């Protein structure tokens, strides 16, 4: 069964450093998303991406964040200058239509 994959599973970085989180969505899906989950809290929407552009972003998704689909398979989230409060699980999701979003296993980001 096709699934969303994410790398790395765990990323440790120093405050102020740039990180890139990578995702490979399900191959025929058209809509792509990033969510994050701070430890013990609910999942929060960050950004949605369709037709090679951002379709919506939350207030969390400030100028430090960017997304890109550099080729036909990868979908990346970049944080330019990480802060301590960026520590969280980051989930990529994809969908064929605008429902039934399938989530990846997540990347745990730890900012020291």
Partner 1 sequence: GENVEQHPSTLSVQEGDSAVIKCTYSDSASNYFPWYKQELGKGPQLIIDIRSNVGEKKDQRIAVTLNKTAKHFSLHITETQPEDSAVYFCAWFLFPNFGNEKLTFGTGTRLTIIP
Which spans of this chain sit near partner 1 (rule: CB under 8 A)? 4, 31, 33, 35, 42-45, 48, 50, 55-56, 58, 91, 93, 95, 98-106
22-36 burial code (b ≥16 CB/10 A, e <16) = bbbbbeebebbbbbb
Minimal distance in Å, beta carbon 110 to partner 1?
15
User: Of 67 and 104, which has the nearer Cβ to partner 1?
Assistant: 104
Distance between CA atoms of residues 28 and 63, nearest Å: 30
User: Of 13 and 44, which has the nearer Cβ to partner 1?
Assistant: 44
Closest residue by Cα to residue 93 from 19, 20, 38, 43: 43
Minimal distance in Å, beta carbon 19 to partner 1?
19
User: Of 82 and 101, which has the nearer Cβ to partner 1?
Assistant: 101
Q: Is residue 11 within 8 Å of 21, Cβ to Cβ?
A: yes
User: Of 14 and 99, which has the nearer Cβ to partner 1?
Assistant: 99
Minimal distance in Å, beta carbon 64 to partner 1?
19
Distance between CA atoms of residues 89 and 107, nearest Å: 5
């Amino acid at each position: 069964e096709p699934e969303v994959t994410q790398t790395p599973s765990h990323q440790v970085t120093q405050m102020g450093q740039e990180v890139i989180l990578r995702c490979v969505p399900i191959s025929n899906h058209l809509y792509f998303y990033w969510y994050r989950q701070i430890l013990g809290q609910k999942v929060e929407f960050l950004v949605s991406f369709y037709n090679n552009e951002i379709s919506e972003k939350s207030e969390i998704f400030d100028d430090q964040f960017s997304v890109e689909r550099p080729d036909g398979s990868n979908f990346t989230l970049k944080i330019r200058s990480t802060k301590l409060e960026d520590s969280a699980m980051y989930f990529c999701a994809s969908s064929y239509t605008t429902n039934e979003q399938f989530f990846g296993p997540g990347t745990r980001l730890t900012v020291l």
